[in-house]
Structure 1
Amino acid sequence: MKIKLQLAACLVAASLGSVPALAKDRRPNILIVLFDDVGFTDFGAYGSNSRTPNIDGLARKGAMLSRYYTSPFCGPSRAMLVTGMDNHQTGMGTLVETVKPELRGLPGYTMTWNGGQKTIGSLLSSAGYRTYVTGKWGIGETGANLPNKFGFQRSYVMDATGGSNYDRKPYLPGYDKVHWFEDGKPIELPADYYSSRSLVDKMIQYIDSGDNKKPFLAFLSLQAVHIPVQAPTKYINAYNGTFDKGWDAMRAERHQRAIKLGLVPASTKLAPVPSTHRAWSSLSSEQRALAARKMQVNAGMMEAADFHIGRLLQHLRATGALDNTIVVVTSDNGPESAETEFAGLANVAVDAVKLVEGFDTSPGNLGQLDSLTAIGPEWAAVSASPFNLYKFYASEGGLRVPFVVAGPGITPQGVVGAPVHVTDLVPTLLQAAKVDYDPATFYGRSALPMLTGGSTSTYGESESFGFEVSGNAALYRGKWKITRNFPPRGDGQWRLYDISVDPGETRDLSAANQPLFNRMKGEYAAYAKRVGVVELGPEDSAFKELTNKLISKALHKYWPYLLGLGLALVAFGYLLFRTVRLAARPKPA
C-alpha cells in the first residue's frame, strides 16, 4: 500500500511539474530587423566593406536571398512588408511627400488605413503572439496609421520618413520636428538617445516585460542608414583609409565580389553611371578626403547597428529564446542618393536653411549631433553594385536588396537565387507560426517551402509580379523583367532585360523579343488594374512633386527670415543710394 501511495505521489508530482512545459507555446518567436536605405552589397555577407559579423553569422546559419525584391520607396515598402498586400491595395501608392493632390481621393492613394486593415501584428496578436515594434514606422499620413491601432501591443516609433539619430531634429527643410509615439501617445526622446542602441534597448524591455509563455513578434525597424548618416566616432574612425580608393574603383570591386560570392552570374556587367556622377579622379584632394569620410560614417553606422543587433541576439540567447526565434534581416529599399551640398544658388539656399536650423555640417562634425551627412549618388551606386541606380527607381539597384533569414526550420543553404517579393513575408511568417490564413487575402505568397528545403522556388517561370510607385514600375516573369523609370534618371520608356544573365540591366532586349515584351506589358496592365495603379506621365515625376512640396513648406516656415532679409536688402539699398547721392553733390566753393 505504501509503495502504491509513493507511486501515486510521484505521478501527481510529475504531472504538476509538466504543466509549465505544456502551457508554454512552442511556436517560433519572430524577429524582423529592417534597415533603411541599405543597398544590395551593404552587408558583409554580401560583399560590403562594412563589418557586420552578427548579420553574417545569421547568413551562415540560414539563407541569404539574391533575388529579394521590395518597393524603391520606403513608405510603400513598409506597407507591403507588414500587410502582405500591394502598396496600392493599402492606399499607399507612393509617399505622402510625392503623391499628387488630385490622387488623394482614390483608393490606392488615400495615405490612411481604415480600421479593418490587417497587419502581421494584428494577425499574430489574434493568434496568441506578443507583438512589438520599435523604430521607424513611416507609413502614410503622420499619426494616422500608427502600429498600436493595427495589432502591435507595444510600440515605440518615429512616424516620419527620417530624422536625426540623436534627437527629434528633422532632415527635410520646412519641418518643425520629427514625431515620435509610444503606444500611440506623443513622446520626447531621452537625452542620451542614439537610434540603434536605444531602439534595441526598448525592444529588450518590451520582450522582457511580456508573458514569456507566449511567442513574440519583434519588429526592429532601424533608422540606419537613412539620412542623416550618423554614428559614434569610434565606429567612423575604424574605417580610416578604407574608402580612399574612391567610388569608381570600389563599385568595380563590389561587382567582382558579388560574382565571386555567387550572388550574381559571371556574365553580369556594370551599367554606365549617370552623366551627373562625378569621376573620382576629377576631385581635388580635399574633396576626396571629405567624400571618403562620408562613406566612413555610413560604414560606421552599419557596424554600430550590427553591434546592437548582436546585443539583442545575445540577450535572446541568454534567456533561452534565440534557438526558437526566426530572424529576418533586410532593407526597405535600395541606397539613398540624395545630396546635402549643391552648386550655385541652390547651395546658398541650402546653407541658409542649415544656418537657421542649427546644422553643423563642418567636416569635423560629420556623423555627429546636428550633422546632415549623406553619401550622395556616387557612393549609392557602390552600395547598389553590381546593379543600376538606387532608391526611388525601379531598376535592380532600387528594388533588389539583401535578405538574410535563419532560425528553427530554416534550412542552411547559403545563397538562394529564386525570386521573393516583399509581400511574401507575411504569409511566410504566418505559415511558420502555424497560423491559418486565406491565401487570397495577400498579394504575396508563402516562401516557407523554399526556405525549409521543400521546394526550389515560390514562383513558376510563367508567373509574374509587379511594382509601381509614382510611375516608376517593373514586372518580373521568371528570368525576364520589364521596367520603366521617370526623370531625372529615366525617360519613361519600357525596356526588357534577361536578368538571369544581365542583372546590371545593360542590354535592352525588347526589339528582339517583341511578342514577349508585349505580353509582359499586358501582364503589367492587368497588375495595375488589379491593385489600383493610376497611370502617370514623365511630367508627374516624384522628384518634381517632392521639390514643390518642400519649397512650399520652406516658404511657410522661413518667410519671417525671408522678410527680414528682404527688409535688410531694401535698407542696404537705400543707404547705398543715399551715400551715392551725397557723394555726387557738388561741394560748396
Structure 2
Amino acid sequence: MKRFFVAALAIWAGAAYGQTGEYGGVVGKTLADSKEWWPAPVRPPAGAPNVIWIILDDVGFGAPSAFGGVIRTPAFDSLANNGLRYTNFHTAGICAPTRSALLTGRNHHAVHEGGFSHIALSAGFPGWDGRIPSSAGTIAEILRDNGYNTFGVGKYGLTPDEEATDAGPFDRWPSGKGFEHWFGFLGSQTDQYEPDLIEDNAHVAPDGRHLSDQITDKAIHYIARQKKFAPDRPFFLYFSPGATHAPHQVDKYWSDQYKGAFDEGWDVFREKVFARQKRLGIIPASAALPDRNPNVPAWSSLSAEERKVYARFMEVYAGYLTYTDFEVGRLVNYLKESGQLDNTAIFVIIGDNGASKEGSFHGVINKPLFGKPLTDEEAVRFNLDSLGEVGTASGHQTNYPLGWAQAANTPFKYWKQDANSEGGTRNPLIVFYPKALPHDGSVRTQYGHVIDLLPTTLELVGIPAPSVVRGVRQDSLQGVSLAYSFTDARAVSRHTEQYYYIFGARSVYKDGWKAETYHHPDIIDLTRPGGGDSTKYGWDKDVWELYDLSSDFNERIDLASRYPDRLAELKRQFDADAVRYHIYPLIDWADVLKRRFHNNVKPFAGGPAESRLAVGSGDAAAGSGGTGPKDAAAGSGAASGSVSGGVRPGGSAAGQMGPGVKPAAGTRQNQ
C-alpha cells in the first residue's frame, strides 16, 4: 500500500508540473522521504544574439537610397553598407498576407490569410477566414518559448475586427501570438497623429506626437527595461511602423527638405533611379527600363496644375520615408550606445509590398477610395483646393498618384496588390549582423520570400523548428533558410518554387521561370465610372504571360507564345498550389466591393468595423483609455544625430542619421 501511495504521489506531482513530462524528484509521505526537484529554467542557446525584424509599409523597391533611390535613407544605407543587400527578395503583394507569412514562415493562404482579417475582406473558407491557426506558431512564440523576451511595436494587422475591442478575446491579438509586450495598432492603417492605439491588451489614448516617434520611444523603453533586469537574456523586437502606408503624414520639417526635388516628374525620377541602381550593382548593367504602365501619363503631358499637385504629393512621401528612416536610426543608435548593437542581428524588409496604387490616378487627400468616383477634372480641382492639407494631420487619406507609385517601384512594372508582378512583390532586404556575417554591403541575388525569414532566424540563433508550440502540433514550415547565402554570394538558390495570389492577380515561379496574369477588375478599374462592369472583365478573360527572370528580371519580354508547353506546366503548378495551400475559391476585388461574401460575425457595439479596411476610409479611433506618464528613460540614450551601423569598412563614419534636429518631442506637429 505504501508503495502504491508513493507512486500515486509521484504521478500527481508529474501532472502538477504539467505538459513537460515526468516529475524528476521524489514525493514521499514526509519531507524526510522526499527529494525536491525543480524544472530547469528555459534558456536560449549560448551566445544567441538579440534579433530585430524591421518591416516598412508600402515602400517601393526604387524609393530608398540604400537600393538606388533618390529618397535619403541614411540609417538604412548604414545598415546595408555594413551588412548584406538582398535584391531578389519577395513579399506576398499586400500587407496582411505578407505579415502573416512572415511571422509564421508559411504561405499566407496556408495560415488562412488569403485576404485580410477585416470583416469585409475575409471569407468562410480555409484559406480566407483571416484567423491564423495555433498550428502555425509565430517567430515570437518560438523565441519566447526558447528564452527570449519578445516585443512588438507598430502595425499588427492580423486581428479580426470583431475581436479588436478591450473585451477580447485576446488569442489573436499580438499577446496571444507570442509577444510579451506590444504597442501599436491592430488594423491595416491608422492616422499618424490620431492612431487607434493599443498597449498589450487594451486601447490607450494617443499623445499627439507622430506615431513613429511614439513607437520608437516604446521600443527603446522595452529594451532598456530588459537590459536593466535581465541583461544576459536576448530579446526579439518586431519593429513595424505604419509608414509609409497612407495616410502620408509628416511634419513639414521633413517634407519641405524635398521642395522642388520632384518638379521634373516621375519619368525623370525613374531614369535617375535606374542609373543609380546600375552604379550600385543593384540591377544588371545590361538592364533596360520598362515602359510606363499603360495608365500612367507622360509627365510632360500634364497641366501645370496637375504637376504642382503631384509634385507636392511626392515631396510629402519622400519626407515621410526619410523621417521613418530617422526613427530607425534612433533605435539603432540606442543599441550602439548601450553596447548591444554588435550582438544584435537586424533584418530590414523595406516594404511589405510594392509602392501603393491606392492613390489612384490623381492622388488622394481626404476622399475615401471606396466613395463615388470623381471625374478627372473634379479630382484635380479637389486636390488643388486642399493642397495645404497634404501631409498634415488634416490629410487623413493622403496618398500619391499612380505615376509616383510606378516611379517608386523602379526598375519594375506595376505596384502593390499586383501579385502577378515583380513590382508588386519584390522588396529590398537588408541583413545586418557584423559579429558573424559579412559586413561589406555586398549584394545577394538568391531568390527569397518572406516565409524564409523565420527559418533563417532560427538557424542563425541555433533553435530548431519546434514540432509542438504550447501543446499544439505544428504544421511544417514552408520557407527555406537564407543562411546558406550569407557567406557565399554565388550559392544556387534553394527556394525554387513560389505561388502568389492577391484578389485575382496571380503568378507562379519555378526555377527562374514565372507565369502570371494581371486580373481585371482591379482596384484602379473600380475607381473609374463603370469600372466594375462584369461584361468587360472576368476569370475567362485573363491572359497569362511567361517570363524568364534569369535573363529578364523586370519582366519586359513575354515568352508565352514561344514556350506554350512551359506556360501550361506552370499553370498546372499554380492549380496544384491552389489546392495544397487553400487558394481556392478564387476571389477578386469585384467580389469584395459587391459584398458577395463577408464574415457574418458582427463586431461588438462600439468596436471597430469597416472603418479599418486596408484601403478606403481612415481608421476610427477605438477606445478612449489613457496612458500613464511617459517613461523618462524611454529614448533617453538615443543620440538622434549620430551614426548608425558603425563605420563603413575602409572609410570614415557614415553620414549623419538625419539632416537636422528632430522637431521638439511632445509637441503636436502640423498644426
Which TM-score band (shorter chain)?
A: 0.7 to 0.9
- Paired with 1:155 and 1:549, the residues of 2 have a C-alpha distance of 35
Unaligned runs of 5+ in 1: 1-21, 169-177, 559-589
Q: Which residue of the other structure, out of 66, 85, 95, is the alignment partner of 2:87?
A: 66
- Paired with 1:150 and 1:553, the residues of 2 have a C-alpha distance of 24
SS in 1 for 2:562: helix
Deviation at 1:548, TM superposition (A): 5.4
- 1:364-419 superposed Cα distances (whole Å, 9 cap, x missing partner): 23211121321121100001111010000021110001111111322235111111
Of stretches 299-308 and 281-290 in structure 1, the one that deviates more from structure 2 is: 281-290
SS in 1 for 2:224: helix
Deviation at 1:66, TM superposition (A): 0.8
Superposition RMSD on alpha carbons, in Å? Answer: 3.2
More helix by share: 1
TM-score scaled to structure 1, two decimals?
0.81
SS in 2 for 1:441: coil
- Paired with 1:378 and 1:349, the residues of 2 have a C-alpha distance of 15
User: In the alignment, which residue of structure 2 is the partner of 1:495?
Assistant: 545
Mark the CA change 1:360 to 1:120 in structure 2 (over 3 Å): closer, same or farther. Answer: farther
Deviation at 1:272, TM superposition (A): 3.2
2:217 corresponds to 1:201: yes
User: In the alignment, which residue of structure 2 is the partner of 1:398?
Assistant: 424
2:507 corresponds to 1:482: no
- 1:292-333 superposed Cα distances (whole Å, 9 cap, x missing partner): 111011110111111111111111111111001111111211
Q: Which residue of the other structure, out of 151, 168, 183, is the alignment partner of 1:156?
A: 183
Of stretches 297-306 and 182-191 in structure 1, the one that deviates more from structure 2 is: 182-191
- Paired with 1:470 and 1:294, the residues of 2 have a C-alpha distance of 27
User: In the alignment, which residue of structure 2 is the partner of 1:9?
Assistant: none
Q: Which residue of the other structure, out of 400, 404, 413, is the alignment partner of 1:379?
A: 404
User: In the alignment, which residue of structure 1 is the partner of 2:388?
Assistant: 364
- Paired with 2:159 and 2:186, the residues of 1 have a C-alpha distance of 9
Verify the 8 A CA contact 1:329 1:403 in the aligned structure 2: yes
Verify the 8 A CA contact 1:25 1:213 in the aligned structure 2: no
Deviation at 1:348, TM superposition (A): 8.7
Amino acid at match of 2:345: I
- Paired with 1:474 and 1:63, the residues of 2 have a C-alpha distance of 28
Mark the CA change 1:261 to 1:279 in structure 2 (over 3 Å): closer, same or farther. Answer: same
- Paired with 2:591 and 2:265, the residues of 1 have a C-alpha distance of 31
Q: Which residue of the other structure, out of 326, 336, 349, is the alignment partner of 1:317?
A: 336
- Paired with 1:544 and 1:75, the residues of 2 have a C-alpha distance of 18
2:592 corresponds to 1:545: yes
Of stretches 120-129 and 484-493 in structure 1, the one that deviates more from structure 2 is: 484-493
- Paired with 1:203 and 1:390, the residues of 2 have a C-alpha distance of 31
User: In the alignment, which residue of structure 1 is the partner of 2:626?
Assistant: none
SS in 2 for 1:251: helix
User: In the alignment, which residue of structure 2 is the partner of 1:472?
Assistant: 505
Q: Which residue of the other structure, out of 418, 422, 426, is the alignment partner of 2:454?
A: 426
User: In the alignment, which residue of structure 2 is the partner of 1:448?
Assistant: 483
- Paired with 1:350 and 1:129, the residues of 2 have a C-alpha distance of 56
Deviation at 1:270, TM superposition (A): 3.3
User: In the alignment, which residue of structure 2 is the partner of 1:523?
Assistant: 573
- 1:403-448 superposed Cα distances (whole Å, 9 cap, x missing partner): 1111132223511111111100001001111111159721101111
Q: Which residue of the other structure, out of 147, 153, 160, is the alignment partner of 2:174?
A: 147
Verify the 8 A CA contact 1:361 1:373 in the aligned structure 2: no
Amino acid at match of 2:409: A
Map residues 81-120 of structure 1 onto 2, 5 A cutoff.
Answer: 81-96=102-117, 104-120=123-139
Verify the 8 A CA contact 2:117 2:129 in the aligned structure 1: no
Deviation at 1:345, TM superposition (A): 6.3
Q: Which structure: larger Rg?
A: 1
Unaligned runs of 5+ in 2: 1-42, 165-169, 468-474, 523-536, 598-608, 618-671
Deviation at 1:454, TM superposition (A): 8.6
User: In the alignment, which residue of structure 1 is the partner of 2:438?
Assistant: 411
Of stretches 270-279 and 290-299 in structure 1, the one that deviates more from structure 2 is: 270-279
- Paired with 1:520 and 1:428, the residues of 2 have a C-alpha distance of 27
Verify the 8 A CA contact 2:117 2:157 in the aligned structure 1: no
- Paired with 1:544 and 1:383, the residues of 2 have a C-alpha distance of 29
Verify the 8 A CA contact 2:155 2:185 in the aligned structure 1: yes
Deviation at 1:543, TM superposition (A): 5.6
Deviation at 1:62, TM superposition (A): 1.0
Deviation at 1:99, TM superposition (A): 6.3
Amino acid at match of 1:336: S
TM-score scaled to structure 2, two decimals?
0.71
User: In the alignment, which residue of structure 2 is the partner of 1:190?
Assistant: 207
Verify the 8 A CA contact 1:265 1:501 in the aligned structure 2: no
Q: Which residue of the other structure, out of 311, 314, 332, is the alignment partner of 2:352?
A: 332
Verify the 8 A CA contact 1:132 1:217 in the aligned structure 2: yes
SS in 1 for 2:198: strand
Verify the 8 A CA contact 1:196 1:305 in the aligned structure 2: yes
Amino acid at match of 1:122: E
SS in 1 for 2:516: strand
